[in-house]
Amino acid sequence: MKILLTGATGYIGKRLLPILVAQGHEIICCVRDKNRFYAPKEYLESIKVIEVDFLKIETLTAIPDDIDAAFYLIHSMSSSADNYDEFERISAENFVHRINQTRVKQVIYLSGIVNDKSLSKHLSSRKKVEDVLNTGNFAMTTLRAGIIVGSGSASFEIIRDLVNKLPVMVTPKWLNTKCQPIAINDVLEFLSKSLLNPDTFNQNFDIGGPDILSYKEMLLGFAKATNVKRYIVTVPIMTPKLSSYWLYFVTSTSYKLASALVSSMKVEVICNDNRINELLNVKPMSYELALSKALKKVDKDDVVSSWKDSLVSGQFSGNISEFLKVPKKDCFIDRRKKEIIDRAFTIERIWSIGGETGWYYGDWLWNLRGFIDKLFGGVGSRRGRTNKHEIHAGDALDFWRVLYANKEEGKLILFAEMKLPGEAWLEFKIINNTLYQSATFRPKGICGKLYWYSVLPFHGFIFQGMLNKLIK
């Protein structure tokens, strides 16, 4: 079967793709930027990648007519735009308009649980998208999930940040709100088993695990799973704005995502029924088991996808191709080079930079810069990286975004997502037996020039120290 996969670079899409390939389907992957898409070589015979922006209806002509089914995995709750709900509606309308022109039999949509009488803006937007999709000339299957627990998921990473960093938590009262978490493995099983299954046509289903827990219980459950003792005190005085800032500064989340989560966490997300469990013969795992599996993935450095790699986790906008060519005109450039001793060693060091590994020299200064960026509303350095030794174009890396990563070529280009009075690139490339390291800054106005000269005294030992450590 020919399957259309939207959101192919997203958290769910990256994990669903190998399952669909293993089932023998031909997959059409929809992405806004081909440069951000990565798949193992063994998948390439089974997939085709097309560039589609569902906000631009003219780009949807790239979708072939002969598709049999489609997964709609497009969400933008943490978008920088305040009217993201309007964007989601337009995307859904454009999708329906184009899909109606194909031979598609079924569309599967992963939504949120919308059983509470009072919905957040985020959940209300999901419900509106569902209503739009239901107007199409195809069989519609909607799976409604609450909190998804898995390595790299937004909820998992936020819980991990809170538990790891705060022995005692003074928290908002919404931590007492009940939810029904579900393991990412179970979500994927529900999605894949619903595909072209007539029993799921023109229906919506709530999907969730066997446990109904408060967010406080989820935090304490994580603490138990990691063998640490944590104390939580809930207080009624935290406003939604204060709660959002609390999450933003303590965890690696963006302020927009924190704000959307705070709004949603006031609403109970509990399944009304579990009839789909029997229908598809799925037995969802407990929260405890879901945590155990997620923690094992983290320990093994085997995290397939992370919400942090999504563009909404940072300040990057546009396509990677627009920034790939590092400018020289009207730029300040710090260039350094050094002869390498062992190419394999240097490549491994470059590809492991940032995150838990650090920057090899002056880490406290890098951390200080990340903290300052956080104070000014930037991403800071808490995002880290998804994998310790593997990086691909589009990945987040502390307060950088990976633009280009080619081990064989020995070339890595990073673009800064910090709050800056200008644009910054950091480039590593190996030519023959020499490593070339360049930090490029294109200033905006006098503030940009003053910024460059203010940090220039630190470049001498930070960048030189890092270069030396990349060699031996």
What pLDDT tens digit does each residue of the chain (472 aa) get?
999 999 998 899 999 999 999 999 999 999 988 888 888 888 888 999 999 999 899 999 999 999 999 999 987 644 444 666 788 888 999 999 999 999 999 999 999 887 766 666 667 777 888 889 999 999 999 999 988 999 988 888 888 888 988 899 888 787 888 999 999 999 999 999 999 999 999 999 999 999 999 999 999 999 999 999 999 888 877 677 777 777 787 787 777 777 777 777 777 888 988 899 999 999 999 999 999 999 999 988 888 888 777 766 556 666 787 888 999 999 999 999 999 999 999 999 999 999 989 999 988 889 888 888 888 878 877 778 888 889 999 898 999 999 999 999 999 999 998 889 999 999 999 999 999 999 999 999 999 999 999 988 888 889 999 999 999 8
Domain boundary among 276, 308, 340: 308
The 10 Å Cβ neighbour count of residue 330 is 7
The CATH number linked to 326 is: 3.30.530
| Cα–Cα distance measured from residue 60 to residue 135, given in angstroms and rounded to the nearest whole number | 18
Same domain for 256 and 325: no
Same domain for 286 and 172: yes
Same domain for 319 and 284: no
Same domain for 461 and 334: yes
Helix (H, G, I), strand (E, B) or coil at 142: strand
Q: What are residue 102's phi and psi, to 5 degrees?
A: -105, 180
Same domain for 415 and 280: no
Q: What is the largest CA-CA distance in the chain?
A: 67
Residues 6+ positions from 84 with CB-CB distance below 8 Å: 76, 77, 125
| Cα–Cα distance measured from residue 126 to residue 120, given in angstroms and rounded to the nearest whole number | 10
Amino acid at the residue 459: H
Same domain for 218 and 366: no
Same domain for 225 and 248: yes
Same domain for 227 and 277: yes
Report in angstroms the alpha-carbon separations of 346 from 163, 335, 351, 435. Answer: 35, 18, 9, 9
The CATH number linked to 95 is: 3.40.50.720
Domain boundary among 308, 325, 354: 308
Helix (H, G, I), strand (E, B) or coil at 47: strand
**Among 112, 101, 99, which residue's Cα sits nearest to residue 142?**
112
Same domain for 286 and 403: no
Same domain for 371 and 232: no
| Cα–Cα distance measured from residue 257 to residue 279, given in angstroms and rounded to the nearest whole number | 34
Same domain for 320 and 293: no
**DSSP-derived secondary structure letter, 412:** E
Residue 12 domain boundaries:
2-308
Domain boundary among 289, 308, 327: 308
Domain count, the chain: 2
| Cα–Cα distance measured from residue 267 to residue 113, given in angstroms and rounded to the nearest whole number | 10
* Strand ranges (E), 248-293: none
* Model pTM score: 0.89
Same domain for 299 and 321: no
CA 405 from centroid of its chain's CA atoms: 18
